[in-house]
Structures are given as C-alpha cells and as structure tokens.
Structure 1
Amino acid sequence: MDKNYFAIIDIGSNTMRFVVYVQEKAGRLREIENVKAVARLRNHLDKDNNLTETGLGILITTLTSFKEVAETYQLSDIVCVATATIRQARNKSTIQDAVKKHIGFEMRILSEQEEAFYGYLAVVNSTSLTEGITVDIGGGSTEVTYYKNRKLMESHSFPFGALTLKDFFISEVPTDLEINKLRNFLYEQFQTLPWLKNKRVPLIGIGGSARNMVQIDQNIKRYPLAGLHQYEMNDSDIAYISNYLAAQPLQTLQKVEGLSKDRADIILPAIEVFHCLYNTIEASSFVLSRKGLRDGVFYEQLSKDLGSFLFPNVLEDSIQELINDYNLSPKQILHVQYITRKLFHVLQSNGIGLLTQQDWIQIKRASFCFNLGNYIDSESSAQHTFYLLANRTIDGLLHIDRLKLALVASFKNKTVFKQFLQPYKQWFLKKEQKKLHLLGAMLKFTYCLDATKRQVVQDFEVTIKKDTIYMTLFCNQNWLPEEYQSEKQKKHLEKLLKKNIELNFVSN
C-alpha cells in the first residue's frame, strides 16, 4: 500500500497546531509531524466579542508558517478546523474570508456538539474503554461526553476553559479563598448535568492540559515506562499535583519538569476541572487519551466507507500494526496459536498450572508478537522484544497490560525474565509474577515446536500419568531442529508445572 499523507490545522483558543499523519500498511494513521504555536487568540477578543486586528494578524501569520511546512509534503488532504474562540467571535465570517483570501484554506468552524463528538470518537477508537466520561479543556471551552458500550449517550460544551478560569486567580500564588471559589463554581456547573453524577466510570482526559498533568505525575514518580496514552492516575495523584502547583509562583512553575512553560499560568485551573469532575462522577480512575479532536476528525473521514464511525476492534488493529511493522509471519502465528491453545486447554482441564480464561487471553495476545525483537537483532532478541512492547504505545492496552504483554512475549529464561521484571516488581503480586513466568515459558516452548517456521509439528496428543506429561508430536517433515529446541526449552516449563515432560516426535 502506498503511503498517503493527511494534515490538519487545529485553531484553538490557546494554541494552534499543524499535524501531519501518514496512512500505511494496516490503514491506521500515524502522526509524523506536529507543529505548535501559542497564539492565545482568546486574549484578542474585544468587549464586543470580535477578534481584533491584532488577533487576526497573529492567526494569518501562524497559518502562513503552517502552509509553508505543508508544502514540503504531498498531502492527499488538508483540513482546517477552529474551535471555541472563533466559534464565539461575532466577526467569524470576516475571519473565514480572510483565511480563504490570504492562505487559501477553507476554515471549518466546529459546533459545540461536533467538538465534543470528535473527542469521544478519538477515545473509543484508540482505547479499550467501553464506557467512560471524556473531558477536553481548551482555552475557551470544556467539552464533556458520556459513552456506554462505545456509543455516545450524552455530550455538553461548557463556555469556560483554562484561559477564562484563570481569572479566578488574582494573586500570583492563588489564595485558599480563590481556589475554593473556583471549585465551588466548577461543582455548580457540573451539577447542572444530572448524567454526570455518580457514574463510577473512568474519567478520560484529552488535550494539552491533561498531557501536562500526566507528565508531571510521571516525573514525580520517576515512572519507568515510556508513553502517555492510556496512563492511569487516581484522585489522590491529582490532588497532590494540584496542591503542589498551587503553592508555587509563576517563575517556579515555568521550571516544573513535565509542564510546558507556555501552559504554566493556566495549568492549575485545568487540573481543578479534572479534580472536581473526578469527584462529581466518582470516577474509578483518570485515564489520559493521547488522541483527541484532531484524530477524531480523521477517524470520521476514514470510516466514511465502513458504514460506522467505530473501528470494530482497537487492540486487534494495533497488533496488526506490530505484525506489519516487524514482518512477523501470520502463518506461523496461527500455527503456534493452535498448538498453544491445545496445550493450554489440556493443562487447564487437568488442573495443572491453575490456568484461567484471562490467562488464555494474555498468552494468545502475546503469541501475536512473540520474539518480534528478532527483527532488530537475533542475538539480543528478548531484550529488544521487551523494550519495544513495554515502551511502544499500543492502542487498546493500559500501561500495566502493555507490560504484561512485554514480559510474556519476550520470555527467554528465568534469569532474563527476572531481569526485565525487576524495576516493576511492586506492580505485581507474587502469584501474578509466577503466572506471567509460566505463560512466557509455555509460549516459548510452543514456539520451539515451530523453530524452523515450517509447521513441522502438525498436531500432538497428551497423556498425563502421575508427575509426567507425555507428548506425542506428529510431524510431516524432518523434526530434528524442533526436537533440539523444545528439549532444550522444556526444563523451564517442567520446573513451573512441577511435572516431567517427555517428548516423542513421530512421522505423521
């Protein structure tokens, strides 16, 4: 499939962005260019709500620079959208005409409903969360939605954002009174929407303020994994960051690790929105979505021919991307999955290993990308496999699930497994560590039964007597490489299952 390049210009109240995506192989979009300009157009609305000449000049100058970058790509399409400040400007038609005249772009002004919808669409098409409340706080508005079973149920746009809420703070270091006034205002606003109360679902944050809050949290915790998408926090995490930032003068805030300098003066009002909304819905957790309005606009365009705005399976699409990116063999994957599934169910039905349905989901997921680090270097394949899976954003997986996938799919031996696990030991109970060890050893063993990728072992039968598992493996070609590798590997599985494994390779 030839590469197709698409671009979007997002004209927000605080920042303007130019983003380029490439569509390749699996058909999903991947961001390859992201140019940001802090325009703060919201500050250039006059008392009559008209965008001033100064504000229009900033808009045109910024768009001119974006256009110059756009001309370095062969774009299949470019979309220009504007949100709250332009939407609320009385002279919006004049602004659209100026953009068309000077830049040549048709600027689309999104309605409140469209802005909320695109945020929801980005979340459901890039996470595994089937129910949740999304919040996207911009400079001049805040969009919230509620979705259930991946379907949009409710949406609303509040006419306040980080720039307008900043006016609650008169002092450089906000007083308790100022913070309480802001909180009371936010709680009153959220109470106007009955569908927000006591939902007890994840609160999903979208946009730059949410990203900055997560980056601050990760720096405070010295978080060992890369990536922001689908990172989880709880209410005490948010409260800690809010209290920490509220005590700092602007000059200190501008030096806080993880906080953009241009967002230092508006981050606290945004975090208060997240905290008050979290309490209102009694959220189960706060989850960051790295994908937002811009992605939602393109998800809509990509899905026009599909008859549905929703991608059927977010995680399957992400795994297919891994298969494509690292040239993994679908034929081998399916064959190993068959062998693994049969062995798994034999052990499960005999009460060996205390295996559950969730364990099968885990090992099946890992079988799609087992040993993918071989693509980089066969000698250190396990290390590359673990690093790539643990630190690559995989849509549809929370960070803890991504780590589990990396530990199982990179299994080589007990020593290497413990080495990979060491920085994250506190994340798992001992029984969870042991189970991941078992699943990794089992998957490594079944891949050894297809060591030469020829599907030599067509099938097998298992007999269990006392403390020995007898496997008769039916082969259609010479099986010496498979026999050597599996005999070498089976010791790891034997120790974990506390059973001997006897292998008998026979001609089919």
Structure 2
Amino acid sequence: MREQRIGIIDIGSNSIRLVIYERTTNGAHRVIEGSKRPARLSGEIDAGGNLSVHAIDNLVDILRHFRLICSHQHTYTIRAVATAAIRNAANRDDILNRLDKEAGLRVELLSGKEEAEFGFLGMINSMDIEDGFLVDIGGGSTEISLFRNRKLLRSVSFPFGCVNLARAFMDKGMMNDSSLQALELYVKEAFGQEPWIAENEGLPLVAVGGTARAFGKIHQAQHHYPFQQTHNYPIAKQSADSLFSALRSLPLDKRKKFPGLSKDRVDLIVPGLAVLRLILQGCKASEYIICGAGLRDGLFYTSRFTERPLLDDVLAYSVNNLCALHPEPPQQHISHVNVTAMMLFDTLSLRYPLPERSRSWMDAASMLFRIGASIDYYQYAKHSFYLIVNSHLNGLSHREILIVAAIASFRSKNKARQHLNDYKQLLESSDLELILRLGTLLQLAIALDRSEAQSLQRMRLEAVEDKLYIQPLLASDKLEVERKEVDALADDFNKVWGFIPVLQSI
C-alpha cells in the first residue's frame, strides 16, 4: 500500500487552518503538517454585509500559500470548506468564485447544520462519551448540539462568535458591566428560541474549537497541570466564572502575560468565555470537557471513510492506529501476548475484583507494550511509556492513559513509581498497586511467548489453591524457553497475585 495524503483547509471566521493527514504504508493515519493564519474575517464585514476586498485578497493569498505547502508535501487531494464569515457575507458567491479562479480551490460552503455535524463526528470519534451537549464557539458563529447514545439528535447554529461579539460589545479589548449585560441579554434571547437546550439537565458540555482549547490551556497553566494535553480535559463549572472575572478585569497589556493564554486570543478570550459560561448555564450542564478534535477531524473521517465515518470503538481504533504507526515489533508476538494477557486477566479477575475499566486498560497495554522498540530495543519499556503518554490515545482519560502506559512499560514497582512521579496529582492512591498487579500479569503473558515463535498455541488456565496451572493444549515444541521464563517470574507473581504460575508439560 502506498502512502496517501489528504489536505483539509478550514476557512474559519477567526483563522484559516491547513491540516495534512497521511495514511502510511502500514494503514495508520497521522497528521504530518499543520499551518494556521489569522484572518479575523468576521471583523472584515462592512455595513452592507459584504466581506471587504482587502480580506478577500488576503484570503486568496493564504490559500495559494496552503496549496503550495500541499504541493511540496505531495498532497494532491485537498478539501477546503468555509464557515460562518463567508456563509453570512452578502457577497459570498463572488468570494467563492474568486477563490476558485485565483486560488484554484473549489470551496464547500458549509451550512450551520453541516458545520455542527462535522464537528460532532470529529468529537465523537475521539472520545468515549455517550450523552452530552457539544458547543463550538467560532469567530462568527456558535453551534450547540445535543447527542445521546453517540447519536446527534438536535443542533442549532447561532450567528454570533467571539470575533463579531468582540466587535459589538468590547472597546479596545475591554468589556464593561453594561456591555456584559447587553451581551448576556442578546445571547439569552437567542437561546430562548431553542427551548430544547434547557430540557436536558445534568449532561456534560463538550467544548471544541479555539475558545475551548484556550480555556483548557489557561486552566491547566493556572493549576500547574502536568499532562501536556487539553483533549478530554474536564473542568468544573465554577472555573470558567473565576477565570472570566480575572481576565475581564485585566487591560490588554497585562492580559497578554496571563499564563497559558496565546497572543492571538488576548482580545477574544473574554467574549468567548462569556458565551461559554452562558451556554453551560442555559444547558444546565454538569461540567465542561475540552475536546481537541472537531470540524477538521470530522471532515477527514468523511473524506477517508466515506461509507462508515462513525467509529464503532474509539479506543480500539486508536490503539490499532498507534500500533500501525510503530510496526517494528513482531506483530504475531504482539497479538499472541494480547490474547494470553486477556485470558490471564479473565481467569484471575474472578478471584480478585478489579475496577470496571481495567479490562480495557489491560487490553490496550498488552497491544502497546513494545512500541518503544521503534526508538531503541534495549530501553523499549521507557520509550513505550513516553510514546503512549505523548500520543493521541483516544477513548481514555488522562489518568487512564498514564495507567496504560505504566502497565505497558512495567518492570518493577520502583520503576513504575519513577515513571509516574511527575503525574502524582492525576492518580488515585490505589493506582500504583493496580499497575503492579496488571503489569506483573502482562510480564507473565510475555514470558509465555518468550521465544516469539507462538509455540504455545492453545492453553487452559486453572487456579487451584496457591497454583496457577497453565496447561498446554496445543504446542509446537517442548516450551523450554517459556518454562524457564515463567519459573524466573514465579516469585514476583506470587507476591502480587498469591499464585505460583506453573507451566505444565505437554
């Protein structure tokens, strides 16, 4: 299979973004290029509702630049879409014609409904969540959607976003009390036209887009959060109120120095957070969850998987994709260890009740334990920990990612403690003991294919008194290598599980 690349260009109301996705020869998908240019298109609309000639000229220049990047990256399939700023412009047909003729791109003009649908698909394919509200506060529009059982039920697009709200309600980057009251009245009146927003109390509010990511980064900086990822980051509902008050009171020169806030968001974060707070109140939501995926990801899934863009199992897809990105380990050995680890887990969990999600953690760890060999075989456990923590392992919370990484890289309790030392505030007091238990189980599964020849093809497990009997039902040799490895591990396994593993003769 040859490498395949697709470029996605998102012409937003605040910024223009390019992302290039690649399908590798092993079938994995990854982002290989990303570029962003500020545009503030929603602020370039004149009194007649037309996007200015200057803004269109700038947009043509940006798209030509992005096309050149795609060409250098051997990316000849490009999908470009435009959202609220062009959608709402009175001269939108002229804009699209100029982009076609002068930039050489046929741009799809998304409706508010389509924008919400693509954003939902990008989110739901990257998170393990069943029910909630989804909000995307853009530069010129805000989409709110309701989903249950991973299905989109309702959505609405409002014609306001952080750029046009800043233009209407802020003066030199500041929002006084009367302006805030006017903004709140304007937004609440819009919500009042959609009564379903207030009829689903207690669901989480999943936030995507630039305002959401900025909110997550600021909150993490404020709390010295050690995990370098805002995706799937929960925030208590009171946090937006306190951050909003602190940021609104600061003049622009001081706001620029606020920890975690990027310079291009200095004047937009206040109206963005103002709306985000009102949405949470209007939805009567339980908390915020920041999602790092959205519109561009949804466009990618519909472009690459045209028949079935909705993933059935987010975590399984993510694990398999990460394995395919690091194909150096022998795949038959990895699959054999995975199957054996799950057999051991199912047998021993009958004796030792484990957390409900721990089976998923064991499954992921036993697939990923050796990806670090793509960096260096001799220290692959350490590198596996790093790769798992710093890759996009979707479908897990930050704490769960750390647990999976620690199980996959397990060598000893002290080594696990060292790996996790920087992340202590994210973990529960019982997590280290759980990692010790599941990490030791994974080591036994690895020992049972130490020859990496899958010699032990079928087995039966039986826990009797203090022994865990491993009876071969089908084997291609006498399993001498595996038996020595199991014997060497027996004492450590017994200390953790209370069973001495015994690999019986054929």
TM-score normalised by the chain length of structure 2:
0.92
Q: Which deviates more, 190-199 or 168-177?
A: 168-177
Query: Matched residue of 2:104: which SS?
Result: coil
SS at match of 1:450: coil
Corresponding residue of 2:145: 145
Which digits, 9 at most, give the CA deviation of each residue in 1:349-407, with x for residues without a partner? 3x3x3335533232122211123223322332221111111221112222222112112
* Structure 1 residue 169 displacement after superposition: 2.7
2:427 is equivalent to residue 428 of structure 1:
yes
Pair 1:25–1:226, CA change in 2 (3 A): farther
Structure 1 residues 215 and 355: CA distance shift in structure 2, 3 A: closer
Contact kept? 1:12, 1:84, Cα under 8 Å: yes
2: CA distance, partners of 1:295 / 1:427: 28
Partner of 2:13: 13
Distance 1:70 1:461, change over 3 A: closer
Q: C-alpha displacement at 1:107, in angstroms?
A: 2.1
Matched residue, 1:127: 127
Residue 380 (structure 2) pairs with residue 381 (structure 1): yes
User: 2:44·2:52 contact (CA, 8 Å) conserved in 1?
Assistant: yes
Superposition map of 1:42-81 within 5 A: 42-81=42-81
Once the two structures are superposed, residues 436-474 of structure 1 have per-residue CA deviations (whole angstroms, 9 ceiling, x without a partner) of: 321111111221121121223342443522xx2142443
CA apart distance, 1:141: 0.7
| Superposition deviation, residue 171 in structure 1 | 6.4
Is residue 2:469 matched to residue 1:471? yes
Whole-angstrom distance in 2 between the partners of 1:52 and 1:504? 76
Give CA-to-partner distance per residue, 1:215-268, whole Å, 9 cap, x none: 112222222222232222221332232222122111122233332212210111
Match for residue 30 of structure 2? 30
Helix, strand or coil for the counterpart of 1:34? strand
Q: Tell me how far 1:79 sits from its aligned partner.
A: 1.8
Q: CA deviation at 1:59?
A: 1.9
SS, match of residue 441 in structure 2: helix
Question: In 2, distance between residues paired with 1:393 and 1:502?
Answer: 35
Question: Is the Cα–Cα contact under 8 Å of residues 449 and 455 in structure 2 kept in the other structure?
Answer: yes
**Structure 1 residue 28: deviation in Å?**
5.5
Counterpart position of 2:195: 194
Q: Which residue of 1 aligns with 2:360?
A: 361
Query: Please, which moves more after superposition, 43-52 or 454-463?
Result: 454-463
Q: 1:469 & 1:156 partners in 2: Cα distance?
A: 61
In structure 1, what is the equivalent of residue 440 of structure 2?
441
The answer on 1:312 being equivalent to 2:312 is: yes
CA distance in 2, matches of 1:263, 1:103: 28
Cross-structure match for 2:416: 417
Using the alignment, how far apart are the partners of 2:193 and 2:417 within structure 1? 52
Q: Confirm whether residue 501 of structure 1 aligns to residue 500 of structure 2.
A: yes
- Which residue of 2 is the match for residue 341 of structure 1? 342
CA apart distance, 1:500:
4.8
- Amino acid aligned to 2:258: V
Structure 2 residue identity aligned to 1:485: E
Is the Cα contact below 8 Å between 1:26 and 1:321 reproduced in 2?
A: no
The DSSP-based 3-state class of the residue aligned with 1:296 is helix
Find the counterpart in structure 2 of residue 214 from structure 1. Answer: 216
Cα deviation, 1:41-70, whole Å, max 9, x if unaligned, reads: 222211110122222222222223223323
Mapped partners of 2:486, 2:185: distance in 1: 65
What is the CA–CA distance in structure 2 between the aligned matches of 1:193 and 1:490, rounded to whole Å? 63
What is residue 234 of structure 1 aligned with on the other side?
236
Q: Matched residues, percent identical?
A: 32
Aligned-residue offset at 1:2: 0.9
Quick one: distance in 2 between partners of 1:399 and 1:504? Answer: 37
Deviations for 1:137-159, whole angstroms, at most 9, x for unmatched residues? 11111111112222210010001
Contact kept, 8 Å, 2:403 with 2:431, in 1: the verdict is no
What residue is the counterpart of 1:246 in the other structure?
248
After superposition, where does 1:223-302 map in structure 2 within 5 Å? 223-302=225-304
Mapped partners of 2:453, 2:7: distance in 1: 43
Q: Which amino acid aligns with 1:158?
A: F
Q: Which amino acid aligns with 1:344?
A: F
Contact 1:457–1:473 (Cα < 8 Å) also in 2: no
Q: Which of 329-338 and 98-107 deviates more? A: 329-338
Q: State the AA in 1 paired with 2:399.
A: I
Q: Runs of 5+ in structure 2 lacking a partner? A: none
The answer to whether the 8 Å contact 1:227/1:392 transfers is no
Contact 1:226-1:392 at 8 Å conserved across structures = no
**1:496 offset after TM fit, Å?**
2.0
Q: TM-score, normalised by structure 1?
A: 0.92
Name the count of aligned residue pairs: 500
Q: Output the amino acid matched with 2:419.
A: F
Change (3 A) 1:122 1:502: closer
Q: Secondary structure at the match of 1:227?
A: coil
**What amino acid maps onto 2:292 in structure 1?**
R
Identify if the C-alpha distance between structure 1 residues 65 and 346 changes in structure 2 by more than 3 Å, giving closer, same or farther. closer
Q: Distance in 1 between matches of 2:493 and 2:265?
A: 52
* Letter in structure 1 aligned against 2:445: T
The residue type equivalent to 2:396 in the other structure is L
CA contact (8 A) 1:225 1:391 kept: no
Tell me: CA distance 1:277–1:329, structure 2 relative to 1, closer, same or farther (3 Å): farther
- State the shift of 1:84 in Å: 1.0
Structure 2 counterpart SS, 1:71: helix
1:288-318 Cα shifts (integer Å, max 9, x gaps): 22222122222222232x2x33122222111
Go from structure 1 to structure 2 and tell me whether the alpha carbon gap of 1:447 and 1:30 turns closer, same or farther (over 3 Å shift): same
Whole-Å Cα distance in 2 between the matches of residues 264 and 250 of structure 1?
7
Contact 2:244 2:274 in 1 (8 A): yes
In the alignment, what sits opposite 1:185?
186
Deviations 1:402-447 (A, max 9, x none): 1121121111111111212333334333334322321111111221
Which structure 1 segments of 5+ residues have no match? Answer: none
Looking at structure 2, the residues matched to 256 and 382 of structure 1 have their Cα atoms a distance apart, in angstroms, of: 38
Helix, strand or coil for the counterpart of 2:360? helix
SS in 1 for 2:357: helix
Please report how far the alpha carbon of residue 344 of structure 1 lies from its aligned counterpart in structure 2 after TM superposition. Answer: 2.8
Is residue 227–residue 393 contact of structure 1 (8 Å, CA) maintained in 2? no
Give the secondary structure class of the aligned counterpart of 1:422: helix
1:110 corresponds in structure 2 to 110
- CA distance, structure 2, for counterparts of residue 319 and residue 470 of structure 1: 30
The whole-number CA distance in structure 2 between the counterparts of 1:494 and 1:240 is 51
Q: Give the 5 Å matches for 1:93-104.
A: 93-104=93-104
The separation in 1 between residues aligned to 2:423 and 2:490, in whole angstroms, is 26
